[in-house]
Each structure stands twice: as C-alpha cells, then as structure tokens.
Structure 1
Amino acid sequence: MSAKPHLQPVGTDDVFRYPIPLGVRLESHGWFQFHHAWWRTSDFRRDADRDVRGVFLDLLCASQDEDPVGTLPVSDSDLAWVARISLDEWMRLMARPITPLYGWTRCIVSDGRVRLYHPKLLTVTKSAAQSKVDAEQRRADDRERKRLKDLPERILRAGGSRRMSEDQSYVVRLDQVLCETLEPGTSRTVLRVKQAMEALDLASMGR
C-alpha cells in the first residue's frame, strides 16, 4: 500500500506558525502534563474506538521526542513509524470515522517544513519549554554573578590595582574579554586574567 501524506502541504500563508523552534530539547522532561478533565469529557474519548484512542495517546507521548518538540510528521508512513504500528494498520485506523489524528492540524515549523501539532498539547509543551528556558537563564545568571564576584580578587593577584578591582565597568569589560577568549569551562588562572587585562589595555589604547 502506498503511503501518501495525510494532510497535503498547500499554501503556507494561513498555516499556524509553531512557536517552539527546532533544537529545544526537554531532556529532563520525562513526563508531561495531561489535561485529564479534557480527556475524560472529550467527544473523542466518548466516540473513538479503543484502539484509536490508544494510538492517539501513543502519538501524544511520541511527539515529545520529536523536533520541534510536540509536533508530528505529516506522511502516513512516518506517522505509522512514530506510533510503532504497521503502515497497513495505520491506514485501517485512518479509515475510521474518528482517527488517531483527531485534533491534530498542520503547522509551519521554524525551518519551513509542514508538520502536525495539537493545540491542547502545545499549551503544556510551551509551558515545559519555557520552564527549561527560564531554568537555563537562571543558571547563566548565577554563573555570571559568580564570575563577577570572583574576578576582582583575581585582578589584584594578576597585578591590577585596587581601583581597577573596584571599578565595576572595568570588571564587566574584563569578564567579557575572558568569555570571548577562553573556552567554556577553562579555569581563569592568574596568568589568563593578566593576559586578558593586557588585551583590554591594548584595546583601550587603540580607540
């Protein structure tokens, strides 16, 4: 049986733009919120066949490992693979009055491809993705605060003056030089700080 896309990608101007970009991975996201009240009272749960409901739930879970997270491919063969059923079985389910793609609709993802998303799932996926972004930003802010707190003492050890170590503007500029010249995770030794100070002095003289 030939596998054709269930939803043909037509004009994209009026297609929903999926807000979560490629590459956002939820490694610690071993679970996702499930709107059980919606599920319990939905027409889909009431009217769909049991095997269709099971594959629908499998698709919800599988979409969390897709890229962008929370989306599905469009072609029937790819969807059958994601659901871990044969293509023949998938096509039989897709011939039912209510299919496993109940509520799923087209979207355009950040690289221009057409994929499928489910509005209910997007709500919780956006929340999880934003939580990850917020956590990463907090960690970055904490690392920056620690760098700026430790740097004045290193300036003194590298031969800098007390005035230089207490000049917040100078400390921030020096931190930027170190961030640009050192590989992430590289220790800020006295020698490396001294070299960064010399580079900063040369840059200031060249203005």
Structure 2
Amino acid sequence: MNTAAHLRPVTDDQLDRYPIPVGVRLESHGWFQFHHSWWRSSDFRRDADREVRAVWLDLICGSQDEDPVGTLPVADKDLAWIARISLEDWQRLMQRPVTPLYGWKRCVCSDGRIRLYHPKLLTVTQGAAKSATDAEDRRAADRERKRLKELPDRIIRAGGSRRMAENPAYILRLDQWLMDNIGEGKSRTVRVVLSGMEALEIGSN
C-alpha cells in the first residue's frame, strides 16, 4: 500500500481550501487532543512500522508550530527538518509501503501556498483555534468595558461637563478617537483625553 499516491499533482481547483487562515497563532496551544480510540483502531497503526509511526507523530506535533497552524510544507527537506531526521532518512522512509505522510493531503492556504494537512488533525486544531478566538474576544470585551468605565472620570478631570461624561454616544466617540490615534494599551492621561475631546469639538464645528 503506497500512501504517497494521494499526493500526486492536481490542479489548484481540485485542492481543499484550508479553513484556518495564515497568521492565526495558538500561543497557549501547548498541547492538543489525541483521539486515542481512532489511533488504536487505525489502519496506519496496524500497517506502519515503528520508525514510520514515530516520525508521523513528530510531524503531527511539528505542524502545530507551523503557519497556518496544523499544516506542513510539501518539500522533502522541510519535512525532514520538522521531523528532525536527515533528508536521506526521510527519503528512505518515503519508500516504505506505509509512509510518514499517511493521511496527509495537499491543500491551498489563505495566502495561496500549497501545503499539507491531515483531516483528523484539522478537527482538533479548529477546536483549539475557536477556543483561542473566543478567549481573545472575551479579553477584548473586558478591555473595552474597562476603558469605557474609566473614561467618564477622565472626561471630568480633563474639564469636561457632567453631561458629556454621562453621554454614552460621546463616550464611545471619544474612546474610538483614542483607539485610532493613541492606540490600545497606551496610558490615557488627562492630557491625552483632553486632546481627544478638543479634536472631537473641532470635528463637530
């Protein structure tokens, strides 16, 4: 059984589109789920020799540090590097009846590159990517709530009226000006907030 057969050349419109875009990083992704029941009953575990199985696992783990996450390059020298074996050893393993690329398929990434992905691994990686995105959304919402909560007091200290400090629409406009011109995470001093208030006043005239 030659598992490299599915890697034969195909046209771009025949390739799967990899759903996780380039640039998505899973910074806290120090582990991933391993479907042991699938592994124990898989044809690959039954048919591949121990050396191939070990390199296959190294590729699975290495793909988690690639971009897009969960993919592999297609060049033999790059795959050998990820598996931390010599190019000669890689090419030797690729001549086995069952190879380290068992189950991997070509795909098109969001930047147009052709890379390899594993459907089983993609399911796990998508779950981790969604969790990371959800966590970042929650952090962004928390940061926004904190900014908006603190801004009315800064408005008063910068010389603004109580009416301005209690106007939700004005607070949102000022927050957006500060985000656009000062940036997130920068100190919103009274002087900085005053600059934003003056800019909004000029813009409304």
Structure-2-length-normalised TM-score: 0.94
Distance 2:129 2:79 in 1: 23
Distance 2:196 2:171 in 1: 11
Distance 1:81 1:115 in 2: 15
Distance 1:19 1:123 in 2: 11
- What aligned pairs does 1:1-207 form with structure 2 within 5 A after superposition? 7=7, 9-205=9-205
Asked if the contact 1:7/1:74 (under 8 Å) is kept, the reply is no
Deviation at 1:184, TM superposition (A): 3.2
> CA, structure 1 residues 92+188, in 2 after alignment: closer, same or farther (shift >3 Å)?
same
Partner amino acid, structure 2, of 1:29? H
Moved over 3 A (4+): 6-10
Q: Unaligned 5+ residue runs, structure 1?
A: 1-5
- What fraction of aligned residue pairs are identical, expressed as a percent? 70
Secondary structure (helix, strand or coil) at the match of 1:100 reads coil
> CA, structure 1 residues 140+9, in 2 after alignment: closer, same or farther (shift >3 Å)?
farther
Give me the CA root mean square deviation: 1.3
Structure-1-length-normalised TM-score: 0.93
Deviation at 1:60, TM superposition (A): 0.3
Deviation at 1:189, TM superposition (A): 1.0
Distance 1:8 1:188 in 2: 57
Q: Unaligned 5+ residue runs, structure 2?
A: 1-5
Q: Size of the alignment, in residue pairs?
A: 200
Asked if the contact 1:70/1:117 (under 8 Å) is kept, the reply is yes
Partner amino acid, structure 2, of 1:180? D
Deviation at 1:9, TM superposition (A): 4.9
Distance 2:8 2:81 in 1: 19
Secondary structure (helix, strand or coil) at the match of 2:13 reads coil
Residue of structure 2 equivalent to 1:3 = none
Distance 1:27 1:160 in 2: 41
Deviation at 1:163, TM superposition (A): 1.0
Secondary structure (helix, strand or coil) at the match of 1:13 reads helix
Deviation at 1:77, TM superposition (A): 1.6
Deviation at 1:8, TM superposition (A): 5.5
Secondary structure (helix, strand or coil) at the match of 1:27 reads coil
Distance 1:104 1:7 in 2: 8
Partner amino acid, structure 2, of 1:41? S
Distance 2:11 2:19 in 1: 19
